[in-house]
Amino acid sequence: MNDTVDRSLHADTVVAWMAEQLHDGDVVATGVASPLAILAIALARATHAPDLMYISCVGSLDPALPELHRSSEDLAYLDGRRAEVSIPDLFDHARRGRVDVVFFGAGEIDGSGQTNMSAAGELGRPRVKFPGVAGASSLRRWVKRPVLLMPRQGKRSLVEQVQVASTTDPARRTPLITDLGIFEVGAPGAALVGLHAWSSEEQIEERTGFAFATSPSLATTRAPDAATRAVIARIDCHDLRLGLVG
């Protein structure tokens, strides 16, 4: 099996597990720089969650998603929309408990579930400035089922303690999907609950900077079937996912 096929399977598995977090009838929103989340939403709508409601950050409600575009802010995500939704409207819906799922990425994530989207080093004098929070600090606590995503896991991304805590959510545990497996993070600490078929506990430990327990029910994640992978390939016809995972 060549490297392209390997990376395709890895990316498809991550996207499929993201899509499994979405239930039929959910209200799901995406922010900026969210191509994998958009692909997972499109996959869910095309398979097990046809009545999922999607709010795009470009200001559209339930746009058509025939194709994944390079930018999450591409105006093509206005096409086929049922209505327009402003960013203030999105935050208002979330604050009122009307948004079920948002996927959150970060530069760093620690075992307590804190994420860093802000900077490397001190926030006042950063060595490197990250893209920023863009509202995630409040959205994460308001969304019913937040999901964290780290598509390229390593000790520089899964850290003992984030340098800047951009988002926190101490009251509940949160799933964290990576290119190697699935964790739950938050108090009282991280736990490994699933690993992908190409990874191992030893490899995950080598590429994780925080301490974690291993769930007694740890299992190998199920790879997506051929029909699911065909849907992913059709939507991501430019293979953008291959450059984003692992």
- Domain locations along the chain: 3-243
| Architecture in CATH for domain 3-243 | 3-Layer(aba) Sandwich (3.40)
Q: For position 135, what pLDDT does the model report?
A: 83
Range scoring the smallest mean pLDDT among 21-25, 51-55, 85-89, 159-163: 85-89
Query: Looking at 181-244, which runs of residues are DSSP E strands?
Result: 181-185, 190-195, 212-220
pLDDT of amino acid 3: 64
DSSP label at residue 63: -
What is residue 4's predicted lDDT score, i.e. its pLDDT?
A: 61
Please write the tens of the pLDDT for every residue from 140-188. 999 999 999 999 999 999 999 999 999 999 999 999 999 999 999 999 9
The predicted structure's pLDDT at residue 32: 85
DSSP string, 119-166: EEE-SSSEEEE-S--TTHHHHHHHSSS-EEEESS--TTTEESS-SS--
Q: What is residue 1's predicted lDDT score, i.e. its pLDDT?
A: 44
Tokens 């190998």 correspond to 220
Average pLDDT, the chain: 95
Determine the Cα–Cα distance for residues 220 and 195; give it in Å rounded to an integer.
Answer: 5
What distance in Å separates the CA atoms of residue 29 and residue 226, rounded to the nearest whole number? Answer: 27
